[in-house]
Chains A and B, each alone.
Chain A
Amino acid sequence: MSRLYKFPGGLKLAGHKTISTRQPISKAAIPDRLFVPLGQHIGSPAECTVEKGQRVLKGQTIGAVTDYVAAPVHAPSSGTVVDIQKFPAAHASSLPSDVIIIEPDGKDEWLEREPIPDITEMDPSELRNLIRCAGIVGLGGAAFPTFIKLNPAGHQISRLILNGAECEPYITCDDMLMRERPHEIIDGAKIMRHALNAAQVIIAIEENKPEAIASLQALASEFDWLQIQAIPVIYPTGGERQLIKVLTGKDVPSKGLPLDLGMVVSNVATAAAVHHAIDHQQPLISRIITVTGSGVKSPQNFEVLIGTPISDLIELAGGYTEDADRLVVGGPMMGITLKTDATPVVKASNCLLVQTPPDHAGEAIIRPCIRCGECVKVCPVKLLPQQLYWFSQAKYLDDLQSHNLFDCIECGCCTVVCPSHIPLVQYFRFGKSEIWKKEQETIKADLARERADAKTSRVERIKAEKKAQHAARAKKTAAAADRKKEIEAAVARTKAKKTADIDTAINQNTEN
């Protein structure tokens, strides 16, 4: 095994993982209705390509990409599109997004698929395009389109790191995947390695998953480019930057990417999804999700179609216990609470955690900060959370930025150790959103100023034009008046001449 390093801070947390690993992964049945949101990933949401009443086949594209940072969406089963409407998403913003509602016909009929030729012959960009068309996004929770990650963009990739750390308490979907389907991950790794032209692949797993380590290790010996690496159990070691630090001792530059160090990090479940997309031509229409916590009767992992209502899954896990009072998507450290279980599973949903009152600290009294510095000790980015807290509270946005608020990964360690129970991470989210708001306002203000300037100059231009017109008209009138005078003068002259002529004639006549 190679040498390992430590990232600063972090916490040893109670895992609570065994409750959901007693049963194997179970395949969830096709639900009565599938609710497939069009925006399930970082980037622009997909654009609906089906109509109400249309029959769709399993794997058919129902949402197409409109942008570079985007992923298409596919029908998880065959059936009829019964409606397309706005729905609150199971996402931090909980903003409503367009959801395609499909009534499955139970036939689970696949779309005609063309087999993909040998990938080793294939150009990496073509491979990336196939992965893009399969709608694959990072399954670790962030849901970033995978084809973008698999683009080395001119960098020499030394290592592709497959993240099987799964450091959040309670979540076990990656653990179970690694235990039961190690070949899928390794086959996916082969494809990703080819797309990136990466020298080495490391699968990093926390030491508390010996079964997963053993099952991958049993297959890994065949491949000289593949290394299975056990890493110490410290939250948040599964964070991209923290994992790179542990494996290589290197810091990813603050505003940079792992790519800058010649590395790419991807989740193990994403690798399995890549394998399905390329080797079986199956787009991303299902995933493994952990349903766990003291609030469900029989915690377990399920392989579930994207779009399955959360309430169906809870039922599969034996239903809620009597004192279940909080539903969290994701883990307890970084997950978000849902107000209702009438929301669907999306590509990013790795865990449903149902809590009971003793599981959360919501009711603890919030006391003033005593500057004890516990938060500083546990921050994996070495920020000064308490300073950031004062600045957020006072809305000192410049100080927040100069104290590197945007390097905060919102892991929650500071909040967990705070003896005053201050919701620090929430303050930091607030600070970030205030800065974004201010930036938006600055942009708006700039625009408004430009517009005002444009208006002023336009008004002045119009004024000037009018003035010029007036002047021209005045000149014209004056000219016309002159002309009139001239004419009158001419007329007068002619008249005078005429009179004179007559006079002369008369005179002549009289003279004659």
Chain B
Amino acid sequence: MEFSQEQHYSPQTPAQASVSRVMLNVILALIPGIAVYIFYFGWGVLVNIVLASLFALLAEGLVLAIRKRPVLTTLLDGSALLTAILLALALPSHTAWWVTAVGIIFAIIIAKQLYGGLGLNPFNPAMTGYVVLLISFPLEMTRWNPPLELAEQSMTLLEAFSYSFTGSLPQRMNLDMISLATPLDLARGRLDMGFSLSVIRSEYSIFSNLSGKGTEWINIAFLAGGLWLLYRRLIDWRIPASLLLSMLIVSAAFWLINPEFYLSPVFHMFAGATMLGAFFIATDPVTASTTPTGRLIFGAGCGLLIYIIRSWGGYPDGVAFAVLLMNLSAPLIDHFTQPRISGYRGRKS
């Protein structure tokens, strides 16, 4: 019998994993965090996710068509969708549609496709988009709404959509109701003014046992999603572990020196985007280190930088800048952390 004259190469086994499945699972793991986010802060985040996803798919599809690449199969890899969701989660709940659009279009077209598309971008696209927004529209990017339990009024899903497109609030609300600082930002701002933590805590009801009301539960939900990814072996344990550990060590060191003027390690763990960053953003394989030791260094560097930027920087959180700075260092880290190959005594031949 004659067989196909086409050349096939070993191994000849069915595919075990696929990029689409990896991306889909990461998105699934985000769902608990998103649900808790909506529960505590209202529908705004969902509006952001929907809009960002639409713009992401449009932008990616457009560039792929211009680059004469297969549009549908590439869109199905799920990477643009994941970028959109991660960026949307970084935005304040009630953001104007054009802010979201600028951020995600920059992320997809400039930070990802212009470098060659999936796998070739040196910087995390979602974080690049976020940082562009943070620098370009500081006002819009620092207007946060309070957790629902503290809010006098909140928007329905329809009102949230309408606000995003028209910028007009429902009659019963005013801009002050959605122009608050996050617990992290608030604490840092007041600490800078010389207030002690016990005073700050007594002044504001936004703080809770672990960090801020709502925020702590969002972090716990993202932690749960992240642990599920680890269990499914879809992400490497090294980056989240070293990131959280390094944050824990530095924050504990400063906190032990002066617990009145430095936020506690527990607060840092469960405030801002810590868990989202540790399990979903810093672990982006394309832009992180790839060697086992390199990943430990990469994670530790992220953790340290997050703490530094949070404590002494001028931004609401430090995850985006920390990750981008470590993205920058990843090729160098990889270069110096090649594993010892079996059969060689020293580091290299």
Which residues of A approach B to under 8 Å, CB–CB?
A: 7-8, 13, 169, 241, 245, 251-254, 256, 311, 314, 320, 324-328, 330, 332-341, 355, 358-362, 364-365, 367-374, 376, 380-384, 386-387, 402-404, 407, 410, 412, 415-421, 423, 425-426, 429
Contacts and interface: CB of A to CB of B under 8 A. Distances in A.
Interface stretch (B51-59, B115-123, B213-221, B313-321): B115-123
A404 B5 CA distance: 33
A332 B13 contact: yes
B199 interface: no
Nearest to A404: B341
Contact of B342 (A245, A333, A335, A360): A245
B280 to A, nearest CB: 14
* Residue among A256, A330, A370 with most chain B CB within 10 A: A370
Q: Main SS of chain B's interface residues?
A: loop
A426 B1 contact: no
Nearest to B70: A365
5 contacts: A253-B343, A325-B4, A326-B4, A376-B290, A418-B17
Contacts of A252: 343
* Residue among A254, A337, A374, A419 with most chain B CB within 10 A: A419
A417 B17 contact: yes
Contact of A374 (B5, B17, B295, B341): B17
Given A340-B3, A361-B15, A365-B73, 10 more contacts: A320-B1, A358-B14, A359-B12, A362-B8, A371-B290, A376-B292, A380-B342, A381-B342, A404-B344, A419-B18
A228 B287 CA distance: 48
A333 B4 contact: no
A419 B21 contact: yes
B2 A326 contact: no
Given A361-B15, A373-B285, A382 B3 contact: no
Contact of A254 (B1, B19, B338, B343): B343
* Residue among B19, B118, B338 with most chain A CB within 10 A: B19
Given A374-B17, A417-B17, A8 B342 contact: yes
Contacts, number: 165
B1 A311 contact: yes
Nearest to B5: A339
Interface string B318-340: 00000000000000001000111
Interface string B111-134: 000000111100000000000000
A372 B22 contact: yes
A151 to B, nearest CB: 22
Nearest to A374: B17
Contact of A412 (B11, B118, B339): B11
B16 A416 contact: yes
B112 to A, nearest CB: 11
B77 interface: yes
B15 A359 contact: no
A498 B19 CA distance: 121
Nearest to B73: A365
* Residue among A320, A335, A420, A429 with most chain B CB within 10 A: A420
Q: Main SS of chain A's interface residues?
A: loop
A339 B236 contact: no
A402 B335 CA distance: 12
B349 interface: yes
The 8 A-B pairs with the shortest beta carbon distances in the complex, nearest first, are: A412-B11, A368-B119, A254-B343, A361-B15, A419-B17, A372-B285, A360-B12, A337-B8
Given A333-B11, A360-B13, A412-B10, A367 B77 contact: yes
Given A337-B7, A370-B119, A403 B338 contact: yes
A384 B342 contact: no
B124 to A, nearest CB: 12
Contact of A332 (B3, B12, B79, B338): B12
Given A333-B13, A359-B13, A338 B73 contact: no
B162 interface: no
A384 B291 contact: yes
B331 to A, nearest CB: 11
Contacts of A13: 13
* Residue among A245, A358, A365, A426 with most chain B CB within 10 A: A365
B312 interface: no
A370 B118 contact: yes
Given A370-B19, A376-B292, A419-B19, A337 B14 contact: no
B202 to A, nearest CB: 47
Contacts of B291: 373, 376, 384
B253 interface: no
Contact of A336 (B5, B10, B18, B288): B10
Contacts of B2: 339-340
B342 A407 contact: yes
Contacts of A358: 14
B290 A386 contact: yes
A335 B15 contact: no
Nearest to A375: B290
Contacts of A384: 290-291, 338-339
B5 A407 contact: no
